[in-house]
Structure 1
Amino acid sequence: MRKLILLSVGVVLAALVATLGWRLSPRGGPPPVPHPEPVDLPARPPVTATRPDVAVSFDLRLHARIPGAERGTPLEGTARFALTNPRTGEPLRGVRPLGWLNRRASGQAAPDEATCKERIQTYLGGFLAARADANLNSYLFLTLNHDQTLSVIDPQISLDRTKLQNLVSLGGEPADWALPPDRKALFLSIPVHGTVSVVDLRRFVVVRNVHVGKSPGRLAVSPDGRTVWVANEGDGTVSVIDTASYQVLRTLEVGDGEHAFAFSDGGRTAWVSSSDGEELVAVDVSSLEETGRVKVGPGVGSIAYSAVARALYAVQVRTHEALVVDTTRREVARRIPLAPSPDLLRFDNSGRWAFVLYPRGDRVDVLDAASNQLAHTLTGFSQPDQLLFTSAYAYVRNTEDARVSLIELASLAREGKPSIAQVAMGQKKPSESRGLGRAPPFAAMPEGNSAIIAGTADRALFLYSEGMMAPRGSLLNYGREPKAVLVLDRSLHEVEPGVFTAEAVVRDNGPYDVYFLLDNPRTVTCLEWDVREVPEDVSASGKQPLALTPEFNPSTPLSPGVSTPLRFRLSPLPDAKDPRPVRAEEVRVLMFRPPSGRWLQRPLPRRVEEGLFEVEVSPSEPGQYQLLVGVEGRGAPFGVLPHFTLSVQPALAARPSPEAPQ
């Protein structure tokens, strides 16, 4: 976080600042309040395991709780794997390890090799009944919906009906959203209120509504992640929000109309365009001082910077041109003719190819930043309006067709027509929805060769892997139209050669089993890490709020096709926040058959007496089933309370009903 140096020299300095006139708008508010940076607790030596092809080193570096944190707040930390070749000592680069942490039960032995493999396979299945205390491979889908809500979907849960993890009400229709690289908070512009809502991405609640200018629209995050830039389209200003304190640092006058942002000079300079203004405005990202302007005439829309050309590209809508701006000399160096009504301009990840979309037409232009010329004019689209880039493809959404066009990036440098694949995404064209929005309707998946795509009118999400001619899966959005989608990636990332880290949260002291999986070279191993730093109030807050006791024998087989009553007791623990008896309407029961979870029942519990409940289950065929009980309103959603594995076997003879163990 940026260190703020406050120089207090009394009235003289105050007068000097007033004389200089720093162009701070009254909307800017007070200076930001610094948030304390997390302090690492004392480090301990890593634990290691050596296999024929991989040497694995692991450590968990916990942070002390920030002063003022509530009692019971768990400790956050960084889980770290260092991977090397045991023969050469060279770091293992570019691989994708998977890892989990799970607190070992008291008296339980460390997992042997067979148990380690079995447990990893269970974790990969995504079952609610067997989730690790810390999943170092997790990611979530965030969808921006038509009904002013934000959906949080966990695609790694194996049960189709339980993937919706949270639903956040925003209190107004968002125009855009932005996710800083630390992934701790999501920023959403709400034009009707003149605010930017901040959603905490740990608790998934709105923690602040930051007042900015009139009708905030586009948002952009500075490359260093310290600021969010807000286009106030109703008053010709841009507000800059500090991502740590959630306060406005400065409000800049930039010109009327819609605004767009780009960053040059390694992120040190921000560029702002205004559709009704005549200039591009350059701002120093550190000091937030304006450093210059470039005359371009009214009508500039989308802008993007290319490190390859070391130039800023801007779409001039009124003159149908792409302007190439020399950011050093602060002048237009070249004008590239375009067709009428150009709109979105974006560079691919290499910074060489600039794509220009025509939402009112059927074409996409591709500019080559290496030569500053129009390289390709591609047709056959249907009012394209949005772009996504992976390392291999450019994804183009067609608003008047239920398909996404994939342009192979490698083919742009070859002779002839570039390669374009058409992939149907759902049944309805996006224009049939209630509104398309400004934010991208697709996002790249963590592995880099697939994407999640919002089927807005279909009210669904489609998972697509490159090379396929159809989506490989879909997720319902629970009756809501997803206007945009983000991937909140919390999985292990390579931060330096051979070193992979992910954030982890722990609530208990004691031995944790560390499960590690690497596909290539294939490596499965388990290590042990002893957590000692968790305060006592954290462990107490993490305890189960209810006691669940079966009044049936889980080891007694059930019969397929036979309705069987199962009874269980639920009672609040002595230190539970809510000591009242549990009511039947609070209790949820789920029975499913792994691994697919396709067979699923939700039997309704019936109160027999205070604390005693009964459900009727009717498994369809022989096999192993899982029975889960949840009381979400008491802090015990599915997966928190103990689960039961039930065996269903063919009824060769009449079997007695399961009874309580003697």
Structure 2
Amino acid sequence: MTRAPVVAVLAMAAALLLVPGAGPAVAADADAGGVTVRALHTPRPGADGLGELALEITDTATGRGLDYDGRRLAAWLQRSPPTLADGEIACSDKVRVLASQGIGRRAAVDFNTHGLVTINDDRTVAFINPFLGLRNAKLEGVVQLPGDATAHLLRRGEHELWIAMRERDAIAVIDTDTHAVARTIAFAPGSGPQALAADGRGVWVGFAGRDNWLHFDRAGAGEPDGRVDAPAASRLLASPDGRLLGLDARGATLLDPRTRERRRVALPGAAVAAWSALSGRWLVGTARGRLAWIDPADGKVDNAIDLGAPVAALVTFDDGRHAAAALAGASTVAVVDVATTEVRQTVAVVPGAADLASSATFLYAHGPEHGGMTLLSLADLRAGRARPVHVAIGAPASPSSPVPPPTAGPAGDIAAPVLLAPAPDRATMLVASVHDGQIYQYAEGMMAPIGSFSNYRRRPLALLLVDHGLEPLGQGRYRATFRHARGGEHELVVSGVQPRFAACVRLTLPEVPDAARAAVAAAPDASLVAAAAVPGDQALRIEVRLRSRATRAPLGGVPDLVLLAFDRRSGWQRRVRLVERADGTGGAGRQGPDAEEAGHYVALLPVPARARRIDLLVSSASQDLPYGAGLIGTVDGPAP
């Protein structure tokens, strides 16, 4: 009987138990008619409610690990019903109920979903839930950034999104669960953070105005725990084992974070890079049309070829056996055999293609400004032939509902457009349109989208996918991180197909510390006082009251209270700042016991004639109040 996967899970458990500051790990297992499911939950140190789930699925008879892809494995975590005895409801019936996703049947944690995040030209970060079944209104939250986004880094295991703002000399760290800014890391004036990469233990930051890189540990405290002298980096990338590559106009810098050994490679115009797993090499494309193979072990250029035009984007596929390079100004993609350094073919694609991504069987080349995309079969590319299919993405914005034009200045100076995102099953591709504020979903090989989601008239700079699913590690092992709000008895429900099984595993999760509950309670309570039409103007006067949720006392002096108005039918939306009444009356002519009460805020909201039913939401970063928790009501638009 082979027990190697079991040993691996036990080793993982031992390692997690030794993490400083981590709570006790909880393990349990269940036998589901020939399939054994073992689960281990380990709280993350210093992270309230955040923990890691290690899952092992094996054949009971042989101990062999069972590998499932994302479409054949499902899992949920729910609180155990205290009034029902064990076995009263069959596990297969629980799977059927949870899979139906009816109202009131949602689990505490659903490991079968994903979310979409857009970083937009208007300094907003929008969180969109594709699984929210409220007509086309799938917006869960909006975060207002204090500056223009320069670089971004999604940390799936930490449930964080890091956004560098070069001109603000700061980084905003956003909690992807609460949709709020968790903390802000400030740097000395002129530092200009503009590059981010994760090495498995934390985050490295590269700057425009300083010749060093800073490292922040996993907890992400405000002070760095490491520093390496290196040229200012326009882009940072990390290999799967955590080795770093920094690019600048003069070349590349290689760094081993474990030894802090640094190597320098002269490569003028280094612009983009991709990792080839099979060759163990970095592929670096330059603005001078060169493609170089760099060995991270010795920092030497093994090979280099001339592609004839500046490299605007670079991706690898087939585990790095092949590479595709989008060539700026040429409207072509060069397909390269990484093993032989041979350019297999050059394929004509849509104009301005500067965004590349691959699904399981197709390569996508996207030209954001021209609103087009080219689909290329990977099988055809491997065979040395190409049958490109060109499709239009979205439609030009209508005069009655335009997408704002690009903001002047450095807004959106993200190193390269990232508007393509493969779905977790890699069978569909999501693409964000800069023309009509929509996100389109394409099944592999399809020329027309199979669905779309609204970005609410915002011009996207980047599209990211937050995967909540189980990450396969091989040999029947899976991993996921999740946040729970309440401790106590929970039940992990796991179901697989081929071989089919349904298993229910009992887990006792630790209580969430009181500090986390206090932080939630500290968010104020917002309520709508009045919404009145302004005579002679197509506008509403909105009045809002803020109170402390804990004491119910009026809450004044909030400088960053913002009102978001949204019409679901037309897609119109607008944000305006709410200003506290200086006289404390909360509105002209207000009488009564609260006439001198603080905590009243007002705003003048211009409303177009097409907006008839308007949802009102408020947000404040200083009060940890996201839009998702700040719905204050729905009002009618003013009569035309």
Q: TM-score over 0.5 for the alignment?
A: yes
Change (3 A) 1:62 1:404: same
Change (3 A) 1:104 1:173: same
Shift of 1:184: 3.0
1:521 maps to 2:499 = yes
Looking at structure 2, the residues matched to 157 and 487 of structure 1 have their Cα atoms a distance apart, in angstroms, of: 15
> SS of 1:491's equivalent?
coil
Please name the residue that 2:388 is paired with.
420
> SS of 2:354's equivalent?
strand
Shift of 1:193: 0.9
Change (3 A) 1:83 1:273: closer
Please name the residue that 2:257 is paired with.
285
Looking at structure 1, the residues matched to 78 and 184 of structure 2 have their Cα atoms a distance apart, in angstroms, of: 34
| TM alignment of 1:2-401, pairs within 5 A | 37-41=20-24, 43-44=26-27, 46-51=28-33, 54-59=34-39, 61-63=41-43, 66=46, 75-96=49-70, 97-109=73-85, 112=88, 120-127=95-102, 129-206=104-181, 207-211=183-187, 214=190, 216=192, 218-230=194-206, 232-234=207-209, 238-244=213-219, 245-248=221-224, 249-250=226-227, 252-254=229-231, 259-263=234-238, 266-268=241-243, 270-275=244-249, 277=250, 279-289=251-261, 291-296=262-267, 298-318=268-288, 320-325=289-294, 330-348=299-317, 350-401=319-370
Contact 2:157 2:480 in 1 (8 A): no
Looking at structure 2, the residues matched to 119 and 522 of structure 1 have their Cα atoms a distance apart, in angstroms, of: 15
TM-score (norm: length of structure 1)? 0.66
Deviations 1:308-365 (A, max 9, x none): 44544333434x3323445556544444222233332333352122222123231111
Q: Percent identity?
A: 20
Shift of 1:150: 0.9
Contact 1:361 1:384 in 2 (8 A): no
| TM alignment of 1:401-440, pairs within 5 A | 401-415=370-384, 417-428=385-396, 434=406, 437=414, 438-440=416-418
Contact 2:492 2:507 in 1 (8 A): no
Looking at structure 2, the residues matched to 368 and 397 of structure 1 have their Cα atoms a distance apart, in angstroms, of: 22
Please name the residue that 1:489 is paired with.
467
Contact 2:274 2:283 in 1 (8 A): yes
Deviations 1:633-658 (A, max 9, x none): 9999999xxxxxxxxxxxxxxxxxxx
Output the amino acid matched with 2:266. Answer: K
Shift of 1:492: 1.7
Shift of 1:204: 2.9
Output the amino acid matched with 2:37. Answer: S
Please name the residue that 1:454 is paired with.
432
> SS of 1:384's equivalent?
coil
Change (3 A) 1:407 1:216: farther
Looking at structure 2, the residues matched to 465 and 635 of structure 1 have their Cα atoms a distance apart, in angstroms, of: 37
Output the amino acid matched with 1:93. Answer: D
> SS of 1:371's equivalent?
coil
> SS of 1:157's equivalent?
coil
Output the amino acid matched with 1:294. Answer: V
Looking at structure 1, the residues matched to 377 and 52 of structure 2 have their Cα atoms a distance apart, in angstroms, of: 37
Change (3 A) 1:60 1:125: same
Looking at structure 1, the residues matched to 264 and 516 of structure 2 have their Cα atoms a distance apart, in angstroms, of: 57
Report the more deviating stretch, 204-213 or 429-438.
Answer: 429-438
Shift of 1:388: 1.4
Change (3 A) 1:356 1:246: farther
Looking at structure 2, the residues matched to 265 and 109 of structure 1 have their Cα atoms a distance apart, in angstroms, of: 45
Looking at structure 1, the residues matched to 179 and 305 of structure 2 have their Cα atoms a distance apart, in angstroms, of: 45
Shift of 1:479: 2.7
Looking at structure 2, the residues matched to 89 and 212 of structure 1 have their Cα atoms a distance apart, in angstroms, of: 56
Change (3 A) 1:64 1:377: closer
Count residues with an aligned counterpart: 506
Shift of 1:108: 3.8
Contact 1:110 1:513 in 2 (8 A): no
Output the amino acid matched with 1:465. Answer: A
Output the amino acid matched with 2:75. Answer: G
Please name the residue that 2:480 is paired with.
502
Deviations 1:583-621 (A, max 9, x none): xxxxxxxxxxxxxxxxxxxxxxxxxxxxxxxxxxxxxxx
> SS of 2:83's equivalent?
coil
Change (3 A) 1:64 1:92: closer
Shift of 1:370: 0.9
Looking at structure 1, the residues matched to 370 and 332 of structure 2 have their Cα atoms a distance apart, in angstroms, of: 14
Contact 1:210 1:247 in 2 (8 A): no
> SS of 2:312's equivalent?
coil
Change (3 A) 1:351 1:62: closer
Contact 1:324 1:334 in 2 (8 A): yes
> SS of 2:178's equivalent?
coil
Change (3 A) 1:428 1:56: farther
TM-score (norm: length of structure 2)? 0.68
Shift of 1:483: 1.9
Deviations 1:258-298 (A, max 9, x none): 73345569544x333322x3x43333323445x333333x4
Looking at structure 2, the residues matched to 432 and 480 of structure 1 have their Cα atoms a distance apart, in angstroms, of: 7
Shift of 1:100: 1.7
Contact 1:84 1:92 in 2 (8 A): yes
Contact 1:508 1:538 in 2 (8 A): no
Looking at structure 2, the residues matched to 128 and 431 of structure 1 have their Cα atoms a distance apart, in angstroms, of: 34
Change (3 A) 1:384 1:530: closer
Change (3 A) 1:112 1:173: same
Looking at structure 1, the residues matched to 53 and 347 of structure 2 have their Cα atoms a distance apart, in angstroms, of: 46
Contact 2:129 2:138 in 1 (8 A): yes
> SS of 1:356's equivalent?
strand
RMSD: 4.1
Structure 2: gaps of 5 or more residues: 1-18, 523-547, 555-615, 630-640
Contact 2:618 2:627 in 1 (8 A): yes
